[in-house]
Structure formats: C-alpha cells, structure tokens
C-alpha cells in the first residue's frame, strides 16, 4: 500500500469530477511540516488555472465533494489553495497491521542489464557500482512482484581475446599442453598484463594475436576451445566475487556479447534495408540528426568497421531486439557508467527507428558516476594500480573485524568473523547505494564503517538493538504478548505516530527505487526510520515499571515492525543483519 498514491488517486478523481482536464493530477506529497498535516495536495492551483477559477474557491469546492472520511480526520485549505491532509490514528494503526508492504498486482517483465564485466581482465572497482546498484534494483523489482530477467552482458568478444589466446598457445607449448596453462590463469590480471606487454613489444606475437581474432570470429574449433577455457576461468573469478558480495547473479544470467554474434550480420543488413546506413570511409554508419553537434557535424553510430568487424554498438542493437522481441520486456534498464550515455542514446534511438524495439518498451539507461579515492581522483591502489575487488572486500572484512573486536571482545572469534563479514561487505555496498548514483562518490573507509550517520553499521546496529529489547522483553513479565486480536497499536505520543507514519511509507520508498533506479531513496528511508525509532525509544519507554501492559504491547509491536522493516529494506539492498553485534 502506497498512501501517497492512494491519496493522489482519490483526490485526482475528485478534481476530474469538478471538470479538471485529464492531465491535471492532485500532486500529493508528504507535508514538509507537521502543522501542514501528514500529506499535502498541491495540484489545485494548476487545475484552477486550467479551469480559469480562483484556486482557493476550487479547493473549497473540492473539499465539499471529496470524501476521505475513512482515512482522514481533517482536510483543510491552506495558502493559495494547498490541501492539508491529517490522517486518522485508527486508520494508521489498522494499516500497520495489514498490507503495509503489499503492492498492486503487476505483470511487467523487466530486463535488468548490470555488472557486465569485461572477461579479458579480472573484475575491478569499476564494475562494483553496476553490480551493487543493479542488484539492489533487481531485488526491489522482484519484491514488488515484477518478472525480472537479469542480463549479465559480459564482454567476452573482441580483439583482446586474440592476444590472450596467443599467450595461452605459447604457454601451452612450454607447459606441455593446454591444461598446463590453467595455473597461470589463476591470476588473470598478471596474465592479461603479460599478454599485453608481448603484444606491444613482439611483432610476431602481435601478428599471431591478430590471426587468432580472425580464426576465432570465423569459428575455428581449436581457437574456440581455448577461448572457452579462458572465459570459463574468468567467469569463475566473477562468481567468486558475486558470492562474496552476496550478489544474486548466477551463470544462467550471463548473456554475453558473443551470444549475439550470429545476429550481427542481420542487424547490419536490416539497418541497410531500412535505409538507415551509409558507407563512410569503408565503415557502415548511421548518421541521425538527433546527434548533431554544435558545428553541424553528426556523431555517427558505427555498426561495422572497415574490414567487416562489428562493434559494441552492433551487439547492443542485437540485444535490444532480443530483449524486446524475444524476452518481451516492458522495460529494459541498463546500469553502466555515465561515459556510456551517448552510446545508449544512440543505440536506443537507432533501435526504435529500425523497429528492433517495440513501441511500448521503455529503454532506460541508468548511469552512474565514478568511484573516487579520498584525493578526489579515480580510485587506485597506493602505487597507482587498479584495485582488485577481492582485495577491497578482504580489506573491508579485516577492518570490520577490528571494529567488532573492539566493541565486543567477549564474543567468540567465529562469531566476530561472521559479524565482520556482514558489516564489512554491508558497509561497502551501502556506501555506494546511499549516494545518488548520478554523481561521483568518494570511497572512504572511516565514514562507511562508522556506527553513526547514514551507514550500514548504524542500521545493522539499530536492528540488533531492537532484537535485544525483545530478548529482554522475553525475560520481563509478562513476556512477549505480540500476536492475536488484542495486539492493538495505539498512537498517543507524537514519537509513536511519527514512527507509525514512517513505517507506512516503506512502499513509497521502494516504488521510487523501482521507478527511478535510485536505491539511495530506500537508504534515506531506512536511515530516517532508524532515527525515528531512536527518538521513539527515548520518548516512549517499553519495559520500564509503570508502563501498562497495553502500552507495552503496542510499543513492542512498533519496535517489531521497525526491525522487520529494517531487515527487509536492508535485504533489498543486498545487506544482511544480525541478532547481536
């Protein structure tokens, strides 16, 4: 249930009854200040303009027709024609007990393209953002009931693989066959570097590498076998990172660039048949007016190089066609860094013009900024190398272990390690998810691992703290009377009501994550929820002497709902909680 949506729907309908045109909506938002009620509708002014009447008058007439008496106990006109809505306490407590996290039924099919590492190298921090943000959005969409199809569009094709195969072949010659190469592939980073060095320094090697590209692309069996071995090893590396990160991608979600190979020639000929391509210096290009630069030149979309090779854009065009035509997606979301913005604008528009994308599919690039070091420059190791993800995650766990040990030296070591894993990985993920993805963000160990502020440890701690209240409640007579008909929630104190309201806004947060692909909306929500809980806990004693059983029961329920919401919300972000920490 989404209260904002519910109010919006009902007030919009009332506005239409008064003759407002279909484009006018109620524009309901949570109120900025308590004296303005819980929600405010701001659409009356625009409606009045359309109807050429006085907004306050229209607002007054609206209140005469609008019946919200089932959920609101006061509606008032404010300022130039705002409507303040005060919700009923009984309605709030009823809503808390049922359907709070339910969504309207949906039958959308949503493709989410994320992670997509280049398999020639080991996964590095550059892939972290796409993987973490994409996975959070996927979880939210699935929670809402959508059919989500993950697409891990890994880079497994292209000229680099010729170089890698050439290196494999020469190592196999030295090490008694292909199986002898396996140990060297354990460190893909070094393997790639060696191959690249040889490619740059040895002309014979470079020529061999180029031959292998041609052989690979023409389907040479021996070449394909070596390539497959390399890809398998590289995917194993990725899977180890996914497992450690708690990312839901599996082998079945891998839909590599190479999978579109057989379709690339068709893509080009279909574009040709539609008259969308011209030959430019031997290359096949689409010049679309929409991509005209200031000087009048047009940035072309190259779909086939001189010499016949295909490009990144070509496989993405094939991928759009597959996602629209075969997977029948209603939406396709692409999580890549912002530098690819033009690429996707071009691919999406050309795909539409070519009829590769249905008229109804919504193609959405969800860009993100860079992960920066504390110096504000791209995140690197102290010596200036790329940071490997495995190393980064190991450091997160180590740092968290030190913190946990400091806080809880009495816990046994295994438990401290378990907590450290959940806290450390959670901190890395949350630090990324809590920022608006559109900007760059600065990676900082101290702030992400802090137990104060908008961090994973703070939220995990808030959860554990509520759990400890329940352990104590169990020991304090009369125990835990939480279920059943008598489990009423009463909202007398301001802090109780504020917390209840926040608990009911969970779906507003997840709806906006789903719509905009911005998990930071859920993070902000959870952070505010934890803050509301802390204020509630300070103002409203639960287990103290003198608290009546009824009040205690009601407050325990609010605490319980808070814990559930924190757990579910963090779970949607791919972050775990623990009973104690």
Separation of CA 12 from chain center: 31
Among 8, 38, 113, 122, binds ligand ARG (CB under 6 A): 113
Q: Which stretch binds ligand ARG (CB under 6 A): 111-119, 196-204, 232-240, 419-427?
A: 111-119
Note whether 498 binds ligand ARG by CB under 6 A. Answer: no
Note whether 134 binds ligand ARG by CB under 6 A. Answer: no
What span, in angstroms and rounded, lies between the C-alpha atoms of 95 and 561? 12
Q: Which stretch binds ligand ARG (CB under 6 A): 112-120, 135-143, 196-204, 556-564?
A: 112-120
What span, in angstroms and rounded, lies between the C-alpha atoms of 329 and 285? 27
Residue placing its CB nearer to ligand ARG in the complex, 263 or 316? 316
Size of the site for ligand ARG (CB under 6 A): 9
What span, in angstroms and rounded, lies between the C-alpha atoms of 484 and 361? 46
CB of 324 to ligand ARG, least distance (A): 13
Residue placing its CB nearer to ligand ARG in the complex, 388 or 416? 388
Paired sense of beta strands 331-337 and 362-368, if any: parallel
Note whether 256 binds ligand ARG by CB under 6 A. Answer: no
Sign of CA pseudo-dihedral 202, 204, 206, 212? negative
What span, in angstroms and rounded, lies between the C-alpha atoms of 500 and 481? 19
Residue placing its CB nearer to ligand ARG in the complex, 40 or 131? 131
Q: Are 557 and 533 in contact (CB under 8 A)?
A: no
Note whether 319 binds ligand ARG by CB under 6 A. Answer: yes
Q: With CA atoms as reference, report the closest residue to 322 among 254, 251, 255.
A: 255
Q: Closest CB to ligand ARG belongs to which residue?
A: 116
Q: Which stretch binds ligand ARG (CB under 6 A): 52-60, 110-118, 142-150, 219-227?
A: 110-118
Residue placing its CB nearer to ligand ARG in the complex, 330 or 418? 330
Residue placing its CB nearer to ligand ARG in the complex, 29 or 236? 236
Q: Which letter, b or e, does each residue of 493-508 get, where b requires 16 or more Cβ atoms within 10 Å of its Cβ?
A: eebbbbbbbbbbbbbb
DSSP structure class, residue 579? S
Give the 3-state secondary structure of residue 440.
coil
User: Judging by beta carbons within 10 Å of its beta carbon (0-12, 13-18, 19+), is residue 453 exposed, middle or buried?
Assistant: exposed
Among 38, 156, 253, 316, binds ligand ARG (CB under 6 A): 316
Q: Can you name the residues that pair with 110 across neighbouring β-strands?
A: 148, 331
Residue placing its CB nearer to ligand ARG in the complex, 201 or 252? 252
Q: Which stretch binds ligand ARG (CB under 6 A): 11-19, 113-121, 497-505, 545-553?
A: 113-121
Among 37, 116, 519, 569, binds ligand ARG (CB under 6 A): 116
User: Judging by beta carbons within 10 Å of its beta carbon (0-12, 13-18, 19+), is residue 41 exposed, middle or buried?
Assistant: buried
Note whether 336 binds ligand ARG by CB under 6 A. Answer: yes
Long-range contacts of 291-295 (CB under 8 A, 24+ apart): 291/342, 291/345, 291/346
Residue placing its CB nearer to ligand ARG in the complex, 129 or 146? 129
Query: Binders of ligand ARG among 143-202, rule CB under 6 A?
Result: 153, 155
Query: Phi and psi of 101, rounded to 5°?
Result: -105, 15
- The H or E element that residue 501 is part of is helix 494-504
CB of 152 to ligand ARG, least distance (A): 9
Among 118, 314, 507, 512, binds ligand ARG (CB under 6 A): 118
CB of 334 to ligand ARG, least distance (A): 6
Q: Looking at 288-330, which runs of residues are DSSP E strands? A: 301-304
Interface mask toward ligand ARG for 259-298; x: CB under 6 A: ----------------------------------------
Residue placing its CB nearer to ligand ARG in the complex, 336 or 562? 336
Which residues in this chain contact ligand ARG in the complex, by CB under 6 A? Answer: 113, 116, 118, 153, 155, 316, 319, 334, 336
């Amino acid at each position: 249930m989404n209260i904002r949506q519910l109010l919006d729907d009902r007030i919009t309908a009332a506005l239409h009854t008064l003759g407002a045109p279909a484009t006018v909506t109620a524009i309901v938002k949570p109120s900025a200040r308590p004296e303005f009620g819980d929600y405010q509708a701001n659409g009356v002014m625009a409606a009045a303009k359309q109807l050429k009447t006085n907004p306050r008058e229209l607002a007054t007439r609206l209140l005469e027709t609008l019946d919200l008496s089932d959920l609101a106990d006061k509606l008032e006109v404010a300022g130039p024609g705002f409507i303040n809505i005060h919700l009923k306490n009984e309605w709030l407590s009823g809503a808390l007990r049922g359907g709070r996290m339910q969504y309207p039924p949906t039958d959308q099919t949503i493709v989410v393209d994320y992670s997509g590492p280049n398999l020639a190298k080991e996964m590095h921090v550059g892939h972290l953002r796409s993987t973490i943000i994409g996975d959070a959005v996927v979880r939210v969409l699935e929670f809402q009931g959508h059919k989500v199809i993950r697409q891990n569009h890994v880079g497994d094709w292209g000229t680099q693989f010729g170089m890698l195969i050439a290196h494999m072949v020469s190592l196999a010659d030295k090490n008694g066959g292909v199986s002898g190469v396996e140990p060297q592939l354990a460190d893909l980073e070094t393997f790639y570097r060696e191959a690249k060095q040889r490619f740059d320094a040895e002309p014979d090697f470079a020529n061999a590498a180029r031959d292998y590209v041609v052989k690979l692309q023409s389907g040479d069996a021996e070449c394909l076998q070596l390539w497959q071995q390399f890809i398998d090893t590289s995917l194993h590396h990725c899977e180890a990172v996914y497992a450690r990160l708690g990312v839901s991608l599996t082998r079945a979600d891998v839909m590599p660039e190479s999978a579109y190979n057989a379709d690339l020639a068709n893509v080009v000929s279909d574009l040709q048949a539609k008259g969308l391509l011209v030959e430019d210096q031997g290359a096949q290009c689409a010049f679309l007016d929409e991509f005209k630069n200031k000087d009048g030149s047009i940035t072309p979309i190259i779909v086939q190089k001189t010499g016949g090779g295909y490009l990144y854009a070509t496989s993405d065009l094939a991928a759009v066609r597959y996602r629209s035509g075969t997977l029948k997606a209603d939406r396709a979301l692409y999580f890549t860094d912002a530098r690819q913005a033009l690429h996707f604008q071009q691919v999406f528009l050309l795909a539409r013009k070519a009829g590769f994308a249905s008229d109804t599919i919504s193609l959405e690039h969800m860009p993100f900024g860079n992960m920066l070091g504390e110096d504000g420059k791209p995140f690197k190791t102290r010596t200036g190398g790329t940071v490997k993800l495995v190393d980064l995650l190991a450091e997160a766990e180590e740092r968290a272990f030190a913190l946990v040990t400091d806080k809880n030296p009495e816990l046994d070591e295994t438990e401290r390690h378990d907590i450290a894993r959940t806290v450390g990985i959670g901190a890395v993920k949350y630090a990324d998810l809590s920022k608006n993805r559109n900007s760059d963000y600065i990676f900082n160990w101290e702030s992400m691992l802090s137990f104060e502020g908008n961090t994973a440890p703070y939220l995990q701690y808030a959860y554990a703290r509520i759990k400890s209240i329940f352990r104590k409640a169990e020991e304090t007579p009369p125990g835990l009377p939480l279920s059943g008909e008598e489990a009423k929630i009463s909202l007398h104190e301001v802090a109780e009501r504020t917390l209840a309201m926040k608990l009911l806004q969970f779906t507003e947060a997840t709806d906006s994550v789903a719509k905009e692909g911005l998990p930071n909306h859920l993070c902000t929500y959870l952070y505010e929820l934890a803050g509301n809980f802390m204020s509630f806990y300070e103002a409203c004693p639960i287990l103290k002497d003198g608290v009546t059983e009824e009040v205690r029961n009601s407050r325990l329920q609010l605490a319980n709902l808070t814990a559930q919401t924190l757990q579910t919300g963090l779970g949607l972000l791919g972050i775990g909680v623990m009973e104690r920490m």
